[in-house]
A and B are shown apart, each in its own frame.
Chain A
């Protein structure tokens, strides 16, 4: 479904070139759930942004369903069937939750239909549907609405950048269930998740460890997970919480 060929991304800071992503080669098969993990600053989120087109590759190519999309805009990639849930969702003054879900679905979504997506992310739809996506929403609420927009879009390939951040333990299970349902809703669809949560790694078909801008390991969950348990690439919720409290 998705192929990254020698994908590279570098930036120039104070006249010095810095390579963030170095010749990554990766294949995401259809009907799969792939989790990208690895140490902070290793290039996980940048890889996700390169796939969506939010950052533009400085080398290599991205092929989606046989089509080279390296030069395509974010909009074109979205229309081809790639969805993206941001790690830190943005707020919009005046735009309501229902408006955003309607934009996401690309059709005149009924209120009932929109409510369904909100229920899937553990929000009481009636309380949220008419709310503005402004600073009155907490970080956790915003994050769940962000995930709901991707559900409403029903993409072939959904990318979630640290979807669990800011979500409590109760909804963590819900989130995992939502991922399973997504895979069933769209035929052959795949999900790419950036996370170092052990519970998310446990539901992966494949795990990719990205470190220093390169693929450090890639393989089936059973092969990779034992090697990374106990490292910063696979943390439990409590340790993740401890880390946040640092």
Chain B
């Protein structure tokens, strides 16, 4: 696999990969596959009609992983990629996606990943998606992920979405539809700085009895950045939904939190919580009494908050 040093660094940031991962993988670099491997249980096939992959995981596959990171270092590259995951019944797998853009040029670089997950009965998946940007060019680093999750009975999906640094503009749309007994857990961590803009919207439909969703976002808006968190949970059955947006605002940052709940069944139990505030002065002072400077204290508080 041929990757330059910057691409390798991006790969490490978004997928914790030092080299080729174990198991099934596809590494996409500047719009083309730089390496791909299927395994006995996990098949990765490129789509023929549009750019993207079909990832088919055989029923009963356990303790295996799929890595599909994307790295971009060419300024001005814009792409839309459609990846579909078909996860068989009774699987227990980890899927690691993520995109890193290094833009040193003047033109915007943009990656819009559309991921659809069809999760079989009793299957359990953990999905990790990290977004990262670097480079000193004037061109923006733009990421607009769309994630759709369709969960069959008693399946369980845990999503960890992280965007900490360097992405100038992002519009993240996540949609989930859950059948009976299915469970969705989302943990989003977001930090924006400079003049970045990030929009994150969720729409979760709890259609089956005993289905549940827990969508929690923790975010920090620094400098002149803007964030919008729009989380909607729709309860169409005897279900349990919880959404939480907890944000720290700094400098001239702005945050709009729009939690939304819709109950269409008498036994739907839905809860939302939202809190936005600056770092408490007492927290900084406490850490200063332990020997940290004011800025070190702020960093510790933010790091802990985004852990």
Quote the shortest CB–CB distance from B276 to chain A (angstroms).
13
Q: Does B246 contact A (CB under 8 A)?
A: yes
Q: With A54-B285, A86-B286, A94-B307 in contact, is A103–B301 under 8 Å at CB?
A: no
Using a CB-CB cutoff of 8 Å, which residues 82-110 of chain A contact chain B? 83-84, 86, 89-90, 92-96, 99-100, 103-104, 106
Residues of A within 8 A of B287 (CB): 103
How many angstroms between the C-alpha atoms of A99 and B304 in the bound complex?
A: 9
Quote the shortest CB–CB distance from A85 to chain B (angstroms).
9
Q: With A75-B291, A78-B291 in contact, is A90–B301 under 8 Å at CB?
A: no
* Of listed A54, A74, A99, residue having the most chain B CB within 10 A: A74
- State whether A90 touches B306 (Cβ < 8 A): no
Q: Does A220 contact B (CB under 8 A)?
A: no
A-contact bits for B236-248, CB 8 A (1 contact / 0 none): 0000000000100
**CB-nearest residue of chain A to B288:** A74
Residues of B within 8 A of A74 (CB): 285, 288-289
Quote the shortest CB–CB distance from B224 to chain A (angstroms).
24
Q: With A75-B294, A106-B291 in contact, is A93–B246 under 8 Å at CB?
A: yes
Quote the shortest CB–CB distance from A117 to chain B (angstroms).
13
Quote the shortest CB–CB distance from B112 to chain A (angstroms).
31
Q: Does B283 contact A (CB under 8 A)?
A: yes
Q: Does B49 contact A (CB under 8 A)?
A: no
Residues of B within 8 A of A195 (CB): none
- State whether A92 touches B289 (Cβ < 8 A): no
Residues of A within 8 A of B246 (CB): 93
**CB-nearest residue of chain A to B301:** A92
Q: Does A197 contact B (CB under 8 A)?
A: no
Residues of A within 8 A of B285 (CB): 54, 74
- State whether B304 touches A78 (Cβ < 8 A): no
Quote the shortest CB–CB distance from B205 to chain A (angstroms).
29
- State whether B288 touches A89 (Cβ < 8 A): no
Main secondary structure, interface of B, reads helix
How many angstroms between the C-alpha atoms of A79 and B287 in the bound complex?
A: 12
**CB-nearest residue of chain A to B281:** A90
- State whether B304 touches A75 (Cβ < 8 A): no
Q: Does B51 contact A (CB under 8 A)?
A: no
B-contact bits for A191-223, CB 8 A (1 contact / 0 none): 000000000000000000000000000000000
Q: Does B282 contact A (CB under 8 A)?
A: yes
Q: With A54-B285, A74-B285, A103-B287 in contact, is A95–B304 under 8 Å at CB?
A: yes
How many angstroms between the C-alpha atoms of A55 and B292 in the bound complex?
A: 17
Quote the shortest CB–CB distance from A244 to chain B (angstroms).
22
Q: Does B290 contact A (CB under 8 A)?
A: yes
A-contact bits for B293-307, CB 8 A (1 contact / 0 none): 110000011011111
- State whether A84 touches B289 (Cβ < 8 A): yes
Q: Does A149 contact B (CB under 8 A)?
A: yes
Residues of A within 8 A of B301 (CB): 92, 95
How many angstroms between the C-alpha atoms of A79 and B283 in the bound complex?
A: 18
Q: Does B50 contact A (CB under 8 A)?
A: no
How many angstroms between the C-alpha atoms of A145 and B307 in the bound complex?
A: 21
- State whether A92 touches B304 (Cβ < 8 A): yes
Residues of A within 8 A of B290 (CB): 78, 100, 103-104, 106, 149, 153
Q: Does B1 contact A (CB under 8 A)?
A: no
- State whether B283 touches A90 (Cβ < 8 A): yes
Q: Does A52 contact B (CB under 8 A)?
A: yes
Q: Does B280 contact A (CB under 8 A)?
A: yes
**CB-nearest residue of chain B to A105:** B290
- State whether B283 touches A75 (Cβ < 8 A): no
Q: Does A73 contact B (CB under 8 A)?
A: yes
Residues of B within 8 A of A84 (CB): 289
Quote the shortest CB–CB distance from B297 to chain A (angstroms).
8
**CB-nearest residue of chain A to B189:** A94
- State whether A52 touches B304 (Cβ < 8 A): no
How many angstroms between the C-alpha atoms of A94 and B305 in the bound complex?
A: 5
B-contact bits for A60-82, CB 8 A (1 contact / 0 none): 00000000000001110011000
Residues of A within 8 A of B280 (CB): 90
**CB-nearest residue of chain A to B306:** A94
How many angstroms between the C-alpha atoms of A84 and B286 in the bound complex?
A: 8
Question: 10 closest A-B pairs (Cβ-Cβ)?
Answer: A95-B304, A94-B304, A74-B288, A90-B282, A78-B291, A94-B305, A84-B289, A104-B290, A75-B288, A94-B307
Interface residues of A (CB under 8 A from B): 52, 54, 73-75, 78-79, 83-84, 86, 89-90, 92-96, 99-100, 103-104, 106, 149, 153
9 pairs across A/B with beta carbons < 8 Å?
A: A74-B288, A75-B291, A90-B286, A93-B246, A94-B218, A94-B303, A94-B304, A95-B301, A103-B292
New contact pairs (17) apart from A90-B280, A92-B304, CB-CB < 8 Å: A54-B285, A73-B288, A78-B289, A78-B291, A79-B291, A92-B301, A93-B304, A94-B218, A94-B304, A94-B305, A94-B306, A95-B304, A95-B305, A100-B290, A103-B290, A103-B292, A103-B300
Interface residues of B (CB under 8 A from A): 218, 246, 280, 282-283, 285-294, 300-301, 303-307
